[in-house]
Structure 1
Amino acid sequence: MIYFLVRIFFPTRKAFIIALFSLLLCYCIEFLQLYEAEWIVELRKTLFGRYVLGQGFLWSDILAYTFGIIFIFLIEKFTLKYKIHETGFRFK
């Protein structure tokens, strides 16, 4: 989901840059869950805070983000390569 969101905001960037930025964003959000200041704990009690900031740090989430972004990156690379070859369009 994050990969697609970043792709929407940066449609002309290379897929590798989108993947790196998406991973950085996901990792930042996940590591931010280790921060336990009172104000951020209160923010996490809201619906927005729960969905955006999460509830707790898990290494399995880091692994899931990494595999998910690599998977969609590979799908985009193979799909885009196929469409460019099939239609003859060139992207810079």
Structure 2
Amino acid sequence: MKRNRVLYFFIIIGLIGIGLAARKWKIFLPDLINVYLGDAIWAAMIYFGIAFIFNRKSLSFIGVLSLTFCYCIEVSQFYHAPWIDAIRNTRIGALILGFAFLWSDILAYTLGIGFSFLGEYFFFKGKPKEVDAVA
């Protein structure tokens, strides 16, 4: 499968916008959704980012690499040195690295990547192996 990088770029930008909006307007969402939504959207953005970079790789490669990346970021939250905590204390550092390990984040990453994987699978199901691609 060859992915259209322009399409994936816009999906990533859209997910960033949706993720930031979900954080800003979280008071309008039920608590059960707020626990998982931001992290699931972040994981979906990682999935599509990896699909953008490795646009010729299989769905399973993208899924496994995305899960591995997200899980590694979460496990890295056990590490607290002054230099990395200084990065985490910035807005972008907090959004990317987080602060503390949570099992709910692992579940949210799994759900976000799972839905992204299934969405990509069903979108391309039955289509030719070569999809119109740019770059």
**2:107 counterpart letter in structure 1:** L
Residues 1-80 of structure 1: pairs in structure 2 closer than 5 A: 1-80=45-124
Give TM-score scaled by structure 1 length: 0.85
Give the gaps of 5 or more residues in structure 2: 1-44, 131-135
Identity of aligned residues (%): 48
Please give the alpha-carbon distance, in whole angstroms, between the structure 1 residues aligned to 2:76 and 2:124.
34
TM-score by length of 2: 0.60
Whole-Å Cα distance in 1 between the matches of residues 99 and 124 of structure 2?
36
Show structure 1 runs of 5+ residues with no match. none
Give the total of aligned pairs: 86
When Rg is computed on C-alpha atoms for both structures, the one with the higher figure is: 1
- Calculate the aligned-residue CA RMSD, in Å: 1.2
Q: Which runs of 4+ in 1 moved over 2 A?
A: none
